[in-house]
Structure 1
Amino acid sequence: MKKVVRTWLAYIVAFVLIAAMLTGCKGPKDTTTGKKTAETSQEAESVTEKETKTETKTETKAESEPAPSGEMTEVGTPRNETLIVECQSPTDTPGQFNSYMQGTSMGFGIHQLMSAMMWEIDTVKGEQFGEVADGMPESNADFTEHTIKIRQGIKWSDGEDLTADDVAFTFNMIMNNPGIPQCTYYKQVFKSVEKVDDYTVKIVTNEPFPRLAQRFGVTIWGNDLRIVPEHIYSKQADVTQFKDSEPVVAGPYTVKAYDDLGKWILYERREDWKNSTVGVVTGKEPQAKYVWFRNLGDDTTRQMSLINNEVDILCEVSPEMLEVMTAQNPNIACWYKDFPYATSDDPCSKGLAFSMGKGAPFDNKDFRWGVALAMNFDEISQNIFNGVGRASPFPILTNTSAAQELYVKPLLPWLKDFSLDLGDGTTVKPFDEGYADRMAEVLKGKGYDIPTDHDALVDMFGVGCWKYDPAAAEKLFIKAGLEKKDDGWYFNGKPFTFNMTYLADTEAQAGRGVQAAYDQLTKFGFKINLVSESSATWDTNGQTGNYDIAGYWPTGFITKDIYSQINGWDADLIVPMGEKGSGQGTRWKNDRATEIIHELSKLSPDDAKAYELGQEFFKIAIEELPFIGFHSGVKFVPTNSTYWNNYPNSENPYNGPWWWWSCFKYILTEISPVK
């Protein structure tokens, strides 16, 4: 339980925020719409209505009253029929809905509500199920021929049946179009993809490939294979230049309107939702007639929007923001009711990625290990989310609760004995298993009720982190070719300066981690430029390798079989710097790791050897440290139950709070209106 003083502080901060909001603005005014606009009169009326409501709601927000009826949104839809979801960044490509055109903002509801996946993921069971596919692939003995049945009954939103024609066309479109980044990989895997009959597709792979569903279906966020309507895309001269501004979709929602400035997209449930992917798979109707994805702006506006019931779901906030919001509106909640509030099982850990394609010293593991040991993770953790979160120092595999049980704990004896050669005849064991106990004491001192059971602490804070050892770090930097002088570090006889970049205005966990690491490494004597980037620049630089050290998150873990998490680290997929490819943008090259990926691709996920190879890969990754993890994905993802309820949470975990994943469309059948 928090100290009383923290609650009072939340009220004081909230009062200041409210005063600033009331004097500085009267709510956002989205004045432009795209291809399908709400009626001008409705919009003008709703904006005026909102200006009046902002002040009224501020005075009554703490009263948990039933949702008012008759209210309209700014885009002219009934509020009690509209689920409003935050999108963290505006889109730079408004009106562009083609997932195979560069720059499409898939997370702006496009892949959550409209895209058609071959296989989706049940995040609770960690099991895949067929969406467009009717079940899992049927393969021959050596996994080179695969038969996929297509689920019957799914229709595109224009009434056309979704058939094997669409599936075979999409595969071949990717394989035969060098402008699509996945083209090279698809050619590496597939020999042919052909229609057998209207609801059967036959795939022949160049080599044994037992993980067809895992690689080309959803296991975490989504997948780069999204089935498109053949009767539309086959008519395009160049599909990579086709904006698809009036998309025909298989998902349960279509685009009703969008903002020309890229701030929002309004989706409407299909009248024939029973013929959509979700309708055919589940038989359940998504409860919200409209889903309005919108970017809300700065943190003050985001807070006030949720407090004032102007948005139902926020994507991610800081613990400080959550305290302010829950103190002001009893309908706001997070994954847990009490500490730690956030879930630590988002499978994308945050930390530091290195652009190894740039060469020395970033491609030198001694340099990367030097960075790890030069940082005090206890301080970094407190600077990110006040110590909340499970430590996930490992590269590539995120330390979710499942990963900790399946991979990390079995490797603990090896981790404890693992040592680094410091280059002067000495070694250091970098693993520090005391982090959980230390952080528990820190948080107890701040007034939080923290478990005393060691296993509970390990579940909450993780098995350990990398040791803070400045002396060892200095030796590793010298071993990597750096030289320490009175005025800082030198490399190749010149002052050594590098950039550390993070995504601007969103992904607070990642951004705070980079900033905290910047502080640590600056204190260590490095001269660093700290840079924030827009989402478009950030995404492009991540793929082309145009960064030095950055807060990307090339990690994951949700199933015991890790092939789908690691196959992108295949060194054969590396493309020259400045180009975009289908592999990882860090350009880590390790021959044995690549061999393991190739071996895994030929083994059944159920083969015991697959798990052994996964453990070997994990050890190699730790030795090489292509990524320094901080925490697993810590998600403070608040919801507001004024208009809608039955969101997934720790007491009702029918799914995770993954509004930005493609599986959100299945959560929408469970979120229900407040009566």
Structure 2
Amino acid sequence: MKRKLPVFLVLVFVLVFASVNVLAVTEVGTPRRETLIVETQAPTDVPGQFNTYMQGTQAGFGIHQLMSAMMWEMDTVKGEQFGEVAAGLPESNEDFTEHIVRIRQGIKWSDGEDLNAHDVVFTMNMIKSTPSIGPSAYYNAVFESIEKVDDYTVRIKTLDSFPRLSLRFGVTIWGNDLRIVPEHIYSQLDDVTSFKDSNPVVAGPYTVNSFDSLGRWVLYERREDWQNSTVGVVTGKMPQARYVLIKYVGDDTTRQMAMVNNEVDILCEVTPEMVEVMTAMNPNIACWYKEFPYATSDDPCSKGISFQMAKEPFDNPNFRWGVALAMNFDEVSVNIFDGVGRASVLPILTATAAMQELYYIPLLPWLEEFELDLGDGTTIKPFDTGYAFRMEETLRAQGYDIPTDEDALIDMFGIGCWKYAPEAAEKLFIKAGLEKRADGWYFKGQPFTINMTYLADTEAQAGRGLVAAYDQLVKFGFNCNLASESSATWDSNAATGNYEIGGYWPTGGITRDLYSQISGWDADLIVPLGERGAGQGSRWNNAEATRIIHELALVSPDSDESYELGMEFMKVATADMPFIGFHSGVKFVPTNSTYWENYPSADNPYNGPWWWWSCFKYITTEITPVN
């Protein structure tokens, strides 16, 4: 028979545990109960560098989530923008060539100076006049002038009609490269691109308290005058955590144990296997859903494989389509996250729930009739509508409770995928100029090898997808090399085009109007290999797509014509296949409610679980301490 502990001993244990929680301190010496600990996915190579206009700065290391000032931010639930530095949306003339932007009054820099039109005009002209800042060429192609009318009014003139000022220069998904800087500091610099800004003056609700010299963490502290920050002025709410510690936690084993041991509150992304282990070991750990499938499939950055189309034969759509049909998507899906996730197979546009309703489902009749010419007099209709039902059977056989309603299945698994058709793929590769010999594939008389790369130690969905694609292409018969790269190398290679097939994700989709998502695919922005430009690094050169982008730029984002052009673009992109999508962004993003609670979730969807987006600063007002 079990002996029960005396009541007074139980009370002692409870009091000791409670006192340990109350007295606990973090590795950086702050009270644990006042410190929200958030993971970043990789250490920074440039510790102490907070100027996002200096090459190499990692904006996602808390900089744009907690400190940066955006002109317009995004309400990710409504899919609508709102003014942050701006007091509202632009006021434009009839032909959208002149725009008045009112600046929100009351925001102050953390040194007490007012944030006003001087800062906005200075920042935009700084970008425009500094060629070594990445978007500079684009600014010069768009803007005629940016000038101050008064302390809280800016007049912007564009060279052509430009009805999407806020969509292009404000946040729609992750962030935006227009981050307003303090004119009274940056105007004194000889070269803004070489200024580290290790003790930054900011407009956001947090400032830098300290940082690790090895680049593993940054400690942010809430401003004493948080009411004067962007978040304070916009919402009137105080961020609840006095400190936010953004830190690199380590490898998957370290991350898992840190979460279980309550040493971290928020992880960026884990695998389903890790979720099952962590939730079994600590009941305070949860994801977007408390039970299967755990993850949200509405991150608007779909993952798949990207081609470097300035290189042969990757520039040939027959080759790219051959790759699509050489892969068994069912096997790819299982190898990524055990079949969890909504298929997002169309190029560039992510199948979030909203985009699936707006674009994917309306495109389904066209997709079912779409044909490829295989080059030998035969054709194939490559779209497969059976994927959701096959995945239902697969997961149900494993004991998961999967809905049977067709609409629910489509919402969970998507409208379909590309067929597994290796014979058709072989014909397309031959049509693209490859030759199949007894000892393998050749191109232009030489043995053909595909070099495939992915980002090391982070972004599990993207990495697993690229590895799954590698396995499929090797099984098909290609000779492939597989390599992982550090964050710095990966980002540099993306911009300069130093890859062949990579696990990049030049994708998105959160608004009905697609211009902000597709404008970077304008072929006029392509620069030679080895150079950095304002457009997409894949270097897709499609005249029809570029024409649509140019036409779309001139029409109102709220118009029917905008939507019709978006649909036309998707058909052109699908036919040319510049990117092969696998799934929408499937995010297993666990939180720990031992010290903090009220995280966004499926039961409380006041925001998405986007800790790495710039909108995180608005989540900090809602995450509350556990009493």
TM-score bracket relative to the smaller structure: over 0.9
For residue 351 of structure 1, give the secondary structure of its aligned residue in structure 2: strand
Equivalent position of 1:31 in the other structure: none
Q: Distance in 2 between matches of 1:602 and 1:254?
A: 40
Equivalent position of 1:430 in the other structure: 382
CA contact (8 A) 1:351 1:627 kept: yes
Judged with a 3 Å threshold, the aligned counterparts in structure 2 of structure 1 residues 239 and 418 are, in CA distance, closer, same or farther, namely: same
Q: CA offsets per residue over residues 234-280 of structure 1, 9 Å max, x none?
A: 11111111111110000000000100110000000000000000000
Q: Distance in 2 between matches of 1:90 and 1:67?
A: 30
Equivalent position of 1:250 in the other structure: 203
Judged with a 3 Å threshold, the aligned counterparts in structure 2 of structure 1 residues 147 and 521 are, in CA distance, closer, same or farther, namely: same
Equivalent position of 2:31 in the other structure: 78
CA contact (8 A) 1:67 1:674 kept: no
Equivalent position of 2:93 in the other structure: 140
CA contact (8 A) 1:210 1:603 kept: yes
Equivalent position of 1:470 in the other structure: 422
- After TM superposition, list the pairs within 5 Å mapping 1:249-648 onto structure 2: 249-358=202-311, 360-648=312-600
Supply the AA of the counterpart residue of 1:314.
L
Q: CA deviation at 1:67?
A: 8.0
- After TM superposition, list the pairs within 5 Å mapping 1:70-149 onto structure 2: 70-149=23-102
Equivalent position of 2:8 in the other structure: none
For residue 99 of structure 2, give the secondary structure of its aligned residue in structure 1: strand
Q: Distance in 1 between matches of 2:380 and 2:240?
A: 57
Q: CA deviation at 1:421?
A: 0.3
Equivalent position of 1:33 in the other structure: none
Q: CA deviation at 1:178?
A: 0.3
Q: Distance in 1 between matches of 2:335 and 2:365?
A: 30
Judged with a 3 Å threshold, the aligned counterparts in structure 2 of structure 1 residues 447 and 428 are, in CA distance, closer, same or farther, namely: same
Equivalent position of 1:165 in the other structure: 118
Q: Distance in 1 between matches of 2:76 and 2:92?
A: 25
Q: Distance in 2 between matches of 1:592 and 1:516?
A: 32
Supply the AA of the counterpart residue of 2:141.
Q
Q: Distance in 2 between matches of 1:307 and 1:67?
A: 17
Q: CA deviation at 1:309?
A: 0.1
Q: CA deviation at 1:633?
A: 0.1
Supply the AA of the counterpart residue of 1:396.
I
Equivalent position of 2:180 in the other structure: 227
CA contact (8 A) 1:170 1:230 kept: yes
For residue 120 of structure 1, give the secondary structure of its aligned residue in structure 2: strand
Q: CA deviation at 1:487?
A: 1.1
Q: CA offsets per residue over residues 293-314 of structure 1, 9 Å max, x none?
A: 0001110000000000000000
Q: CA offsets per residue over residues 550-603 of structure 1, 9 Å max, x none?
A: 000000011101110000001111111101111000000111111111111111
Equivalent position of 2:135 in the other structure: 182
CA contact (8 A) 1:66 1:674 kept: no
- After TM superposition, list the pairs within 5 Å mapping 1:193-212 onto structure 2: 193-212=146-165
Q: Distance in 2 between matches of 1:65 and 1:325?
A: 22
Judged with a 3 Å threshold, the aligned counterparts in structure 2 of structure 1 residues 510 and 100 are, in CA distance, closer, same or farther, namely: same
Judged with a 3 Å threshold, the aligned counterparts in structure 2 of structure 1 residues 147 and 66 are, in CA distance, closer, same or farther, namely: farther
Supply the AA of the counterpart residue of 2:433.
G
Q: Distance in 2 between matches of 1:572 and 1:642?
A: 52
Supply the AA of the counterpart residue of 1:437.
F
For residue 538 of structure 2, give the secondary structure of its aligned residue in structure 1: coil
CA contact (8 A) 1:67 1:642 kept: no
Give the TM-score taking structure 2 as reference length. Answer: 0.97
For residue 254 of structure 2, give the secondary structure of its aligned residue in structure 1: helix
Q: CA offsets per residue over residues 649-671 of structure 1, 9 Å max, x none?
A: 00000000000000000000000
CA contact (8 A) 1:278 1:666 kept: yes
Q: CA deviation at 1:496?
A: 0.1
For residue 37 of structure 2, give the secondary structure of its aligned residue in structure 1: strand
Supply the AA of the counterpart residue of 1:461.
F
Q: Distance in 1 between matches of 2:562 and 2:404?
A: 37
For residue 60 of structure 2, give the secondary structure of its aligned residue in structure 1: helix
Q: Which consecutive segments of 4 or more residues in structure 1 shift more than 4 A? A: 63-67
Q: Distance in 2 between matches of 1:666 and 1:308?
A: 27
Q: CA deviation at 1:392?
A: 0.5
Q: Distance in 1 between matches of 2:469 and 2:563?
A: 33
Q: CA offsets per residue over residues 442-470 of structure 1, 9 Å max, x none?
A: 00011100000011000000000010000
Q: CA offsets per residue over residues 73-102 of structure 1, 9 Å max, x none?
A: 110100000000000100001000001000
Q: Distance in 1 between matches of 2:450 and 2:191?
A: 40
2:615 equivalent to 1:663:
yes
Supply the AA of the counterpart residue of 1:459.
D
Q: Distance in 1 between matches of 2:139 and 2:569?
A: 23
Q: CA deviation at 1:343?
A: 0.1
Q: Distance in 2 between matches of 1:467 and 1:338?
A: 31
- Total equivalences in the alignment: 614
Q: Distance in 1 between matches of 2:229 and 2:78?
A: 24
Supply the AA of the counterpart residue of 1:501.
T
Equivalent position of 2:5 in the other structure: none
CA contact (8 A) 1:147 1:201 kept: yes
Q: CA offsets per residue over residues 627-654 of structure 1, 9 Å max, x none?
A: 0000000000000000000000000000
2:565 equivalent to 1:649:
no
For residue 61 of structure 2, give the secondary structure of its aligned residue in structure 1: helix
Percent identity, please: 74
Q: CA deviation at 1:66?
A: 9.6
Supply the AA of the counterpart residue of 2:106.
G
Give the TM-score taking structure 1 as reference length. Answer: 0.90
For residue 351 of structure 2, give the secondary structure of its aligned residue in structure 1: coil
CA contact (8 A) 1:138 1:146 kept: yes
Q: CA deviation at 1:64?
A: 11
Supply the AA of the counterpart residue of 1:617.
F
Q: Which has the larger displacement, 118-127 or 602-611?
A: 602-611
Q: Distance in 1 between matches of 2:398 and 2:435?
A: 41
Supply the AA of the counterpart residue of 1:431.
F
Judged with a 3 Å threshold, the aligned counterparts in structure 2 of structure 1 residues 290 and 575 are, in CA distance, closer, same or farther, namely: same
Q: CA deviation at 1:494?
A: 0.6
